[in-house]
Structure 1
């Protein structure tokens, strides 16, 4: 049945429902400096903030959950206020940022911390060059919030109890090495500026990086990657200096006939409020292009109804739904992964609900550095063992890449087989054989 639910955005002073924010005025709440100052960055503060709102069992489950988590806690008051504290166990926003021990699942044996081999494909620290004409430029190692499912949990944020972070040396001195490499490669035309999160760059740094890249003769396109629009939209409304710096970069791009865009990261329609729309409207008025890259997450957006609503709501606020990523094979978040067949079914049901240019492409970033592959483009997929085989002839010809469905989607018999090293190897060999690529290809 056709509805207009995607236009029904949360508004009003909803943050007052949390006791510690009950006396926070609208002016305070919409000030990005207040959001940063009052962000939750340790377990004690988190427990104090939600004490009396949730059960003691829930607080205990959080404490135990972070004991196993690859990312530390960091959430904004805005995000906390969007969580349904009447049912925090099942809330889609809570699931993304706050782990609870009772929902954690054993890691698949094939999971790693750097499943995409970003470090292996980095000619200089902080710069991944995998595609012929595109590079990923990591400029900062912190974010306004820390997502549990971060694909760079190997480096972003501080050490946790389970992960000692790799130091990528992301600072202005090391940016110069990246700039020199980019300038030396005439085939490079497209640079994704990421981190961490470009929201955490100062206005001066944002402008410096944007101007430097756009003034290189070989660069035709740059993109700023940030989850900030989803988790702290008030920065766009209250940080005029940062917004003006961003606008100057966009205007320079237009003057030089080069593309500049923001790539952001909304995963669930609940994350889009009237505050989000006000921020997106302000960017839209300045002619700034915004695209969205979601991650397919179990319990967050893994039904076609939830994904349809997200896509329609993004379109409504002038954010183009660009990609939906199959969850990367990173450790510590097996409870959030979905299987490949789920992504395929959701894609079928999303296509056709809105215009093609607002229909996201469902992709899998091939483990081992194969790059983004259309979710349908596997060479072989065994739904029983959960092994899918992909190739990437334009990225790494002659190699194949395997993705493994999460444990919760497999039978107990198959889970036991994965725990056995010999049976594990045999399931991989069988998948390669049936894919038809084994004779002329090799594992990345």
Structure 2
């Protein structure tokens, strides 16, 4: 009997995993930037200096063309120039990001797709898209504060970032004006900030503040402390989060801007003394964005006890397969970043080529369960259009995969209201794509979805 039990236990032993399946632990370590002719003679010391990265970031098409002229084809350069003339976000990309792009195949590179549009890949927008699909401006209670959820507010401290993502949900305000978009304004302004602080102080229900913009990476050390200290000293505030994609686009700032890192740390330490939570929310979309430099930056944060969570956007041709998303989640977790959300792409104009269907998000969510610890498994969510707030991707009241209309409710945010999301045209049959071009047919499809959603509620 004892021998039989031993044999049974041995039968349950799993084979040793091959290193091939653990590739997420391997990071780019070599001096990859030297592959770019413009950066071939840049030393590691300079490349890792955030001041050098900022000074040499690309802010216009002319500089972009000059930098990639020896590594990209004329066809690609022409398509990129035409692409920027048709999208809401201006050029802004760091040398670090530019160096991570595979210039042997830039057309299909997952980092290039996020920051450099090419006209040959842009497609017709769904007619229901807008530039402020989440209606943040309608929920703004001051020029820099959005109060949508009962206990949480979004503090928009500035309107610039170290790099501009094509798919930015705040393309209505972030960055410079473009051919198709004159931007709003929430630049750094102490008067604007004071209005926000006064509102927060006068609303005792507010406990949680997200500090965003723009990107808090672009705030100075003193500005970080000004905002962090002021918020933490408001009695009812229990949690603050600094939102920044900086870790993905310029991780060397954490390594070389000691004043900025110390400022974040001082806010964190004050939070501990006051028994309040301080965290950093960052934004990685593909595993290629995570390098040995990222790992070193995260080690700095980890040493100081700062919790870092990630919010990924689901992007077509970038991370919209189970394999790509699993690899990203595993790599993030390995360097102590907690995968927090995977968001369905917002209904933003100018980036229809990057949107996926709700069904794609559902399928990916299923594939993520079980590959890693539960607390490292992100919630796949949709930010319901028109101010409904964040909802689980599965929580729709109705989803017509034929017309691509899904309907969500938000009883704690907008009781009694319904919010419609629209799958991208490229995911629909040709006859349905044509139907969406007809305003009458649009109304019929929306009304049908709403009626079915109401039936499902009762």
- Give TM-score, length-normalised by structure 1: 0.98
Match of 2:214 in 1: 196
8 Å Cα contact 2:398/2:456 also seen in 1: no
Q: 2:456, 2:315 → 1: CA distance?
A: 31
Correspondent of 1:383 among 386, 401, 412:
401
Match of 1:236 in 2: 254
Stretches of structure 1 that go unaligned for 5 or more consecutive residues are none
Correspondent of 1:111 among 129, 145, 156:
129
Shift of 1:121: 0.4
1:123 aligns with 2:141: yes
8 Å Cα contact 2:397/2:456 also seen in 1: no
Shift of 1:255: 0.5
Shift of 1:167: 2.2
After TM superposition, list the pairs within 5 Å mapping 1:55-204 onto structure 2: 55-168=73-186, 170-204=188-222
Is the alpha carbon distance of 1:170 and 1:397 closer, same or farther for their aligned partners in structure 2, counting shifts above 3 Å? farther
Deviates more, 1:161-170 or 1:298-307: 161-170
Match of 1:398 in 2: 416
Match of 2:285 in 1: 267
8 Å Cα contact 1:290/1:319 also seen in 2: yes
Q: 1:273, 1:157 → 2: CA distance?
A: 27
- Give TM-score, length-normalised by structure 2: 0.95
1:28 aligns with 2:46: yes
Stretches of structure 2 that go unaligned for 5 or more consecutive residues are 1-16
RMSD of equivalent CA atoms: 1.1
Q: Matched residue pairs, number?
A: 440
Q: 1:189, 1:436 → 2: CA distance?
A: 33
Match of 1:252 in 2: 270
Q: String of CA shifts for 1:226-273, please: whole Å, max 9, x gaps.
A: 000110000000000010010000000001000000000000000000
Runs of 4+ in 1 over 6 A off after TM superposition: none
Shift of 1:423: 0.3
Name the SS of the counterpart of 2:155 in structure 1: strand
Q: 1:314, 1:118 → 2: CA distance?
A: 29
Name the SS of the counterpart of 1:108 in structure 2: coil
Name the SS of the counterpart of 2:316 in structure 1: coil
Deviates more, 1:124-133 or 1:160-169: 160-169
Q: 1:306, 1:362 → 2: CA distance?
A: 15
Q: String of CA shifts for 1:40-76, please: whole Å, max 9, x gaps.
A: 0100100110112011000000000001010001000
8 Å Cα contact 2:172/2:181 also seen in 1: yes
Q: 1:254, 1:300 → 2: CA distance?
A: 38
